[in-house]
Structure 1
Amino acid sequence: MKPTQAATPTPRPAPAPPPHRWTDDAQGLFTGTLLVGVATVLYRHAHMLTGGTFGVAFLLNYATGWRLGLMFFLVNLPFYWLAWRRMGRAFTLKTLTAVTMLSLWSELLPRWLQLGEVQPVLAGVLTGTGMLMLFRHRASLGGFNVLVLYLQETRGWSAGLLQMMLDATIVVLALFVVPWQAVLLSVFSALVLNAVLAVNHRPGRYMAA
């Protein structure tokens, strides 16, 4: 007589991730935009720039002298339609809030911070960490962030690697506007920024909703 084999238990589905409360989202947007805002002060102090639509805003600021915060807000306007259509109302509203907050930080923080030597690594880490916090609360800084998050969610592509390619394009264009030494520092900072995103922001890695 053969021994009775125990039935293989059916694996239970993973529990749904706990949703973020509005207070969680509020502190995430505040802290994330503040970190990126401090990084913008570092960038401007060294006449550097970053990628994405913020990089476009930097280019316009350096080339024309127009206010950085206003340029960043205006450059992002065309991307809200894509965000609303593809990423949903909540994502779009939180992104609009984050863009508005960062536009304000970029105008206010230079009045409050006194800087000496600027470290491009610190600027990249601050920007990457701030963007990571926004991504994890289903928000972004608009523009290219909307595009790379959409492609990550629909195609599974790495947001960090996509952002790196777009940033490289912006940095190349910067050669026509800022000194090559500042562009070189910007490239180094962009590598640090996107390394933070590529390592810490992958599909399925973060469980909260």
Structure 2
Amino acid sequence: MQTKYTKELSRYLLILVGGMVLASGVSLLLVPNEITSGGTPGMAILVNYFTGFSVGMIMLAINIPLILISIKFIGRGYAFRTVFAILVIALSTDILLELLKLPALTHEPVLAAVFGGMFIGLGVGLILHSSASPGGPSIIVGIVARKTHWKEGNMVILVDALIVFSAGFVFPNLDSMLWSLLGVYVSGRGINLILSGRPSKKVVHISSDNAETIKMQLMHKLGHEGGMILEGEMLHTGNERRLLMLIIDNNKVQSVRQIVKEFDPSGVVIVMEASE
């Protein structure tokens, strides 16, 4: 039981850190430079520009109805952690903007977009890693995706795109939309970094008529013991062809390419991130 409580406490601590990091990116980088982002923070920044209401309170106003709507679709523990994350983000944002009135870390748009996106991405990543949600449209998107054939990832991208493109009409400077797009891209990379870790290995597929020789060369020169050989046929000719699939360190990719080039110049090498 103690382990269970310790695990839950560590989740809440990570959510606290993630929420504060996210709020710092919004308050100290994006808002002062009229740059928005995806999700609830982006919506709150746009509404704040029109109404003057505090960004944190707008986040709460957006998220509370969404939580109430989705409460029956998510587990109780997940719901409690999500509410906690929403409160931390909203309160931290208003403390930094309204109470402490801290100055912007930079007024250089490109730095604000990159580091603001990084802060938001890391914050969201920590929250998602802790089995919670930072709130926003992603809650409804998740429910809709489960009830329809639409892909959740595509729907999130669509919603975020609409929010970011709105910056081009809301803010007087069209550059705000372009910087916002950059920030959203960086935040996405930050989320992937937390959830998937730093990519250290590659998945390599090798299509070759000389698969057996290449296999022996790989084992001899690289000492690689994993992987497998798959049998198949070419789509356009119907001829049989063998496919090697293996997982290697990043620094061995070039060596694999050289082996394939030497023993089968017509061979095809496809490289992907193992973390995917």
Q: Is the 8 A contact 2:168 2:175 kept in 1?
A: no
Number of aligned residues: 184
> What corresponds to 1:7 in structure 2?
none
1:140 aligned onto 2:133: yes
How far 1:134 sits from its partner (Å)? 0.5
Q: Distance in 1 between matches of 2:67 and 2:168?
A: 29
Q: Is the 8 A contact 2:40 2:137 kept in 1?
A: yes
Q: Distance in 2 between matches of 1:189 and 1:96?
A: 25
1:36 aligned onto 2:26: no
Q: Is the 8 A contact 1:83 1:91 kept in 2?
A: no
> What corresponds to 2:57 in structure 1?
70
Q: Distance in 1 between matches of 2:134 and 2:57?
A: 14
> What corresponds to 2:253 in structure 1?
none
List alignment gaps of at least 5 residues for structure 2. Answer: 197-276
From 97, 106, 110, give the equivalent of 1:116. Answer: 106
1:53 aligned onto 2:40: yes
From 163, 166, 178, give the equivalent of 1:184. Answer: 178
Tell which structure's C-alpha radius of gyration is larger: 2
1:56-100: CA deviation from partner (whole Å, max 9, x where unpaired)? 211110011111111110011221134322221111111111111
Q: Distance in 2 between matches of 1:183 and 1:73?
A: 24
Q: Distance in 2 between matches of 1:201 and 1:144?
A: 20
Task: Please provide the CA RMSD for this pair.
Answer: 2.6
Q: What is the TM-score of this pair, normalised by structure 1?
A: 0.77
Superposed, 1:145-164 pairs within 5 Å as 145-148=138-141, 159=153, 162-164=155-157
> What corresponds to 1:5 in structure 2?
none
How far 1:144 sits from its partner (Å)? 1.8
> What corresponds to 1:9 in structure 2?
none
1:120-145: CA deviation from partner (whole Å, max 9, x where unpaired)? 11111111111011011111111223
> What corresponds to 1:171 in structure 2?
164
How far 1:196 sits from its partner (Å)? 2.9
Stretch of structure 1 that moved more, 47-56 or 124-133: 47-56
How far 1:186 sits from its partner (Å)? 0.7
Q: Which amino acid aligns with 1:34?
A: M
Q: Which amino acid aligns with 1:183?
A: M
How far 1:200 sits from its partner (Å)? 4.9
Stretch of structure 1 that moved more, 100-109 or 20-29: 20-29
How far 1:113 sits from its partner (Å)? 3.5
How far 1:165 sits from its partner (Å)? 2.5
Q: Which has the higher contact order (CA 8 A, sep 6+)?
A: 1
List alignment gaps of at least 5 residues for structure 1. Answer: 1-17, 203-209
Stretch of structure 1 that moved more, 145-154 or 191-200: 145-154
Q: Distance in 2 between matches of 1:116 and 1:54?
A: 19
> What corresponds to 1:26 in structure 2?
12
How far 1:197 sits from its partner (Å)? 2.9
Once the two structures are aligned, what percentage of the paired residues are identical?
23
Q: Which amino acid aligns with 1:67?
A: S
> What corresponds to 1:4 in structure 2?
none
1:146-192: CA deviation from partner (whole Å, max 9, x where unpaired)? 24555788989565x54332211111122221121112111110011
Q: Distance in 2 between matches of 1:164 and 1:182?
A: 19
SS of aligned partner of 1:48:
coil
Q: What is the TM-score of this pair, normalised by structure 2?
A: 0.59
From 76, 90, 112, give the equivalent of 1:89. Answer: 76
Q: Which amino acid aligns with 1:168?
A: A
Q: Which amino acid aligns with 2:131?
A: R
Q: More strand by proportion, 1 or 2?
A: 2
Stretch of structure 1 that moved more, 116-125 or 27-36: 116-125
Q: Distance in 2 between matches of 1:43 and 1:82?
A: 29
